[in-house]
Structure 1
């Protein structure tokens, strides 16, 4: 059958692949919007504590991150399309089966393990793989757009999920997200292709020499070798530490806990969900702009600025909560939306610059740190809420961590690994 991508002669096939990847990331991210909305409904129905529900969120976040480096290696071994289709099916199964759960361990298994593994098998490992294979020019911009797709998908569904949960119950909301993930399978099967050569093209802005051969075997070995190679460099640990703090202050703190925190201050859940949706919309602008800047400005400087401003904004958040919307809360939402995952394009750029063709796998490990940080903060913030009756300590801790991450960004060295460690040449995987 003639490739559907090849038929679109009026546009370079790299943009078609990028578009389908965007849809896949949004579809997989949909269920990740549910935790913050459903904490209160689950507490009301099952009597589970915030810490218990947060434990399931923490497992989800941790597996989401730890899957990434192996997913990047699996995409090299088996191809992008089979991995993405399998991941979407696992996400749909995990979200759909929550309809019949009756115990907390089932929440951890379905919401934590299955959805964590499925969404982690795509996530930003998919972004790094697609941009690395299909683009030479505009990599920073494309990575920003695709990153925004994944992050925005976790937020723009929130008002709809909150409305459905409020009017028809949390099970209806979970079922809807499962259907959304399944719907994305069709365009992935029809339009997502592995490499430019498959449709008689070359990478956008590159030549045939930039379309490198796929890895033939050993996905686990590739992932572990990428880690051991990267771990010899100080920059890897600085990137990983910064990303751990990035995850803690976004997916671990704001995403699951902003809505219940707003509820503590008298704000309706639907209003708080609408604010997070606005974060998702603004994230598109901020992350694309960050990708554009990454092509032009030292990525280390960008990271330092992003983290510092994020830390200051979190430290100010407890003072702006209240039952009604006001200018200071809107200002926080606008800033946080623009900064939500603006850190990803410069981090990807540093991985490509330093680790060469190993960059997708290395970035997978860096992103694993991102999700481990998110998992620890998701659980920790839930415990803080149960013990103190307030989230204030968690917000202040997040603010301090943001300033620490800013300090870690500037000392990074941009020397390619091959220049200092010939045995770990990025040309061999």
Structure 2
């Protein structure tokens, strides 16, 4: 039931994640703001979405998942609802950037890492995959409807849909979501004995920064953060934000392009769940390297696939890219938990996810600048393909170095040797 509540909450907050792609053109047409101006608000949102994530993980330790997630959904609803009254670009930055950024950042993928660490011992990878796929499910649910509303009723109707969806989910979270198995007299799934409940600390921000200070002394953290920054640049920042405008540049109707992006969400669900299953069985570093390499190949081919109508090669791209969209999350979560333990792992993943959103923000703004200067997105796609090759190398290098221990000492693991399951020792 907790996993279901987490899934529904992530779906409810996912509306805005797919909104910019179908709202950029209508807002540009109404206000005359440039693509780069509108994308600036998206970039601020992505930065806060990632930057607030590690602090949210610490806040969940202090106040509990239920309180943090409920507050986050209310912020998403407020930012979406208030945006219908905006008349200046700074108001777009306030609503889309600040309010929705903090709201979605409070229940970003660090929420997935926290929930799975507390409630699951067995099948953590599968559950991580299912919860990660919730974002894609939200995109699947909202994107075609938002595109249709924006085309026929105006962009304000689409943003009100986002606000309403976030509000509807709040009661589900309050009723079903619980912070720890002990709250309902249960054991974590697959556990044979109760796990000690971590003591609440008063300084959530201090703890998040302290964990970061330990993590940055390991090579694994930097390899994961660098690869995940490229992951964000090549998914949320580039494809999710600019696929629909890029397709529109080639004569494809926005509703058709939005439908294709929604199909990415369908195949992403299957790909991410399968990735979670593989994460329980295969070296996570090898999985990440394969995912980034295949993604780079698909992005290099994309500029030649755009056309006024959907052709078979584009269908092949949608299927292939969809399977790979966020398949990177389960193995990344697993590596953070493996290296930094069950308690610190979610916070470390929050910082790794922050790098994901820095990459996404840079790509969202950079692609818009390329489009405004060159008149097309082609260069952005090719640059993204090259970055995926870099991410492949970083993923294979995410081993060795020293990892922090609770006592502050470090343990050296030779390159190529699988890291021990330190979460068990710390538990």
- What do the CA deviations read for 1:221-262 (whole angstroms, capped 9, x no partner)? 110011001000001000000000000000000001000000
Per the alignment, residue 248 of structure 1 pairs with 233
The CA deviation at 1:207 is 3.2
Residue 134 (structure 2) pairs with residue 149 (structure 1): yes
Per the alignment, residue 390 of structure 1 pairs with 376
CA–CA separation in structure 1 for the residues paired with 2:200 and 2:409: 19
User: Equivalent residues in 2 for 1:408-427 (5 A)?
Assistant: 408-413=394-399, 417-418=403-404, 422-423=408-409
CA–CA separation in structure 2 for the residues paired with 1:266 and 1:89: 38
Per the alignment, residue 235 of structure 1 pairs with 220
- What do the CA deviations read for 1:302-333 (whole angstroms, capped 9, x no partner)? 00000000011101100000001111000000
Per the alignment, residue 20 of structure 1 pairs with 5
CA–CA separation in structure 2 for the residues paired with 1:414 and 1:336: 31
CA–CA separation in structure 1 for the residues paired with 2:382 and 2:149: 33
Residue 280 (structure 2) pairs with residue 295 (structure 1): yes
Residue 210 (structure 2) pairs with residue 200 (structure 1): no
Structure 1: gaps spanning 5 or more residues:
1-15
Note if contact 1:265-1:322 (Cα within 8 Å) is conserved in structure 2: yes
Structure 2: gaps spanning 5 or more residues:
411-421
Note if contact 1:299-1:350 (Cα within 8 Å) is conserved in structure 2: yes
1:93 to 78, 92, 106: 78
Q: SS of the residue aligned with 1:208?
A: coil
CA–CA separation in structure 1 for the residues paired with 2:196 and 2:151: 50
Residue 328 (structure 2) pairs with residue 339 (structure 1): no
Note if contact 2:214-2:404 (Cα within 8 Å) is conserved in structure 1: no
The CA deviation at 1:208 is 3.4
| TM-score w.r.t. length of structure 1 | 0.94
CA–CA separation in structure 2 for the residues paired with 1:153 and 1:236: 30
Note if contact 1:30-1:153 (Cα within 8 Å) is conserved in structure 2: yes
Q: 1:333 to 1:214 in 2, by over 3 A?
A: farther
The CA deviation at 1:123 is 1.2
Note if contact 1:77-1:217 (Cα within 8 Å) is conserved in structure 2: yes
Q: SS of the residue aligned with 1:417?
A: strand
The CA deviation at 1:428 is 8.0
CA–CA separation in structure 1 for the residues paired with 2:72 and 2:150: 25
- What do the CA deviations read for 1:352-404 (whole angstroms, capped 9, x no partner)? 10000200000000000000000000000000000000000000000000111
CA–CA separation in structure 2 for the residues paired with 1:173 and 1:286: 28
1:42 to 27, 50, 54: 27
CA–CA separation in structure 2 for the residues paired with 1:258 and 1:87: 27
More deviation in 226-235 or 215-224?
Answer: 215-224
CA–CA separation in structure 1 for the residues paired with 2:121 and 2:195: 8
Note if contact 1:50-1:386 (Cα within 8 Å) is conserved in structure 2: yes
The CA deviation at 1:38 is 0.6
Q: SS of the residue aligned with 1:310?
A: helix
Q: 1:61 to 1:370 in 2, by over 3 A?
A: same
| TM-score w.r.t. length of structure 2 | 0.94
Residue 49 (structure 2) pairs with residue 79 (structure 1): no
Q: SS of the residue aligned with 1:396?
A: helix
Between the two proteins, the alignment pairs up a number of residues equal to: 414
CA–CA separation in structure 2 for the residues paired with 1:401 and 1:142: 29
Per the alignment, residue 138 of structure 1 pairs with 123
Per the alignment, residue 153 of structure 2 pairs with 168
- What do the CA deviations read for 1:160-200 (whole angstroms, capped 9, x no partner)? 00001111100011011100000000110111111001101
The CA deviation at 1:125 is 1.1
1:324 to 282, 291, 309: 309
Q: 1:209 to 1:415 in 2, by over 3 A?
A: farther
Per the alignment, residue 359 of structure 2 pairs with 373
Residue 15 (structure 2) pairs with residue 30 (structure 1): yes
Q: SS of the residue aligned with 1:63?
A: helix
CA–CA separation in structure 2 for the residues paired with 1:212 and 1:161: 42
Q: 1:260 to 1:394 in 2, by over 3 A?
A: same
Per the alignment, residue 349 of structure 2 pairs with 363
More deviation in 238-247 or 30-39?
Answer: 30-39
- What do the CA deviations read for 1:259-314 (whole angstroms, capped 9, x no partner)? 00000000000000000110011111000000000000000000000000001110
CA–CA separation in structure 1 for the residues paired with 2:207 and 2:22: 38
1:309 to 267, 274, 294: 294
Per the alignment, residue 353 of structure 1 pairs with 338
Residue 109 (structure 2) pairs with residue 124 (structure 1): yes
Note if contact 1:350-1:414 (Cα within 8 Å) is conserved in structure 2: no
Note if contact 1:195-1:211 (Cα within 8 Å) is conserved in structure 2: no
